[in-house]
Amino acid sequence: MKTKLIEIKMIEPSLNKLMEADLNIKTAYRLSKLLKKVGGELQTLEETRVRLVKKFADNPDAPEGQEIKVKETLVNKFNEEFNVLLNEEIDIPFDPIPLDEIGDGVKLTPIDVIRLGKIIFDKDDDDPEVVEPMVLPDPPGENKAAEEADTTSK
């Protein structure tokens, strides 16, 4: 599955919701393997973001646990470099899962389905063309880190 880091970041809440559902064992196993791969990418992304925050910070050598913040005058430069990183394309080996393997008991919103567009598909869809998922922001309050500039680190 070819995707961008920003898509992985946006998929995370919907994937976590799917992971909490009662799925058949085969589907649960495949999704848990995917979650480990996605988790590794997200961990590397976060470590890189923290290094980037320190690069543009007033106090990059602050003691452990103290907030490090990007200088106000460098926020645009930080955002520019971070957006380049977020648009980096990666390849995660994974075959999409047919929707009928997910089951009817799983509660997903239309936004979840859009976000999971590279992970699940409908075998009965008359138009089998793969639709690239839109990168949608989290609903207010669902992912507080995404709502803030995310220009801080501890």
The answer to whether 24 and 101 are in contact (CB under 8 A) is yes
Question: What pLDDT was estimated at residue 7?
Answer: 93
The answer to whether 120 and 108 are in contact (CB under 8 A) is no
CA distance 57 to 69: 5
CA–CA–CA angle 62, 63, 65 (5° rounding)? 105
How would DSSP label each residue in 6-70? Answer: HHHHHHHHHHHHHHTS---HHHHHHHHHHHHHHHHHHHHHHHHHHHHHHHTBS-TTPPTTS-EEB
Question: What pLDDT was estimated at residue 126?
Answer: 65
Tokens 């106090």: give the residue: 59
Question: What pLDDT was estimated at residue 127?
Answer: 61
Residue 125 phi, psi dihedral angles, 5° rounding = -65, 130
Per-residue pLDDT for the chain (154 aa), expressed as one digit of tens each? 999 999 999 999 999 999 998 999 999 999 999 999 999 999 999 999 999 999 999 888 888 888 889 999 999 999 999 999 999 999 999 999 998 888 888 888 999 989 999 999 888 876 655 445 445 455 445 444 443 446 777 6
